[in-house]
Structure 1
Amino acid sequence: MSEDERTYGVVLNHEEQYSLWLVDRELPAGWRFEGKRGPKQECLDHIDQVWTDMRPLSLRERMREDATS
């Protein structure tokens, strides 16, 4: 199998969930490029470093509210 030489971008949605997307494709609604672009593995490594809390943003906010009430 040949190596994937396409360029990917790290994308982020409104819930602060991360994914990969090919940079030459239109993003689906609700997603934006986070800034990191490059080879697939490099982007995956970046996601591993920055996505430290996999809970959706809305859940994290609700849990914070519950903790203060």
Structure 2
Amino acid sequence: METAITVAVVIFVIVAGMVLIHRLNAQHDERIGAFRYSDALPGIGRRTRKGPRATVPKGPPADATHPEHREASR
């Protein structure tokens, strides 16, 4: 008789745990669904570009103008 009660209690605890976990997962999914990750934060909208993009200066890199410094460091 005690064994049957113990088995019933263990099964009940397992089922109660499964129901609790299922409800917590559903609640978590609702929170994730309500939060829009792709939207910008309020007040921090995406800026529109009013002019052309900044360009990288054309020409040799700064360290290429003095090759003797590059050779001496080796």
TM-score by length of structure 1 reads 0.27
Q: Which has the larger radius of gyration?
A: 2
Larger helix proportion of the pair: 2
Higher RCO by CA contacts (8 Å cutoff, separation 6 or greater)? 1
TM-score of the pair, normalised by structure 2: 0.26
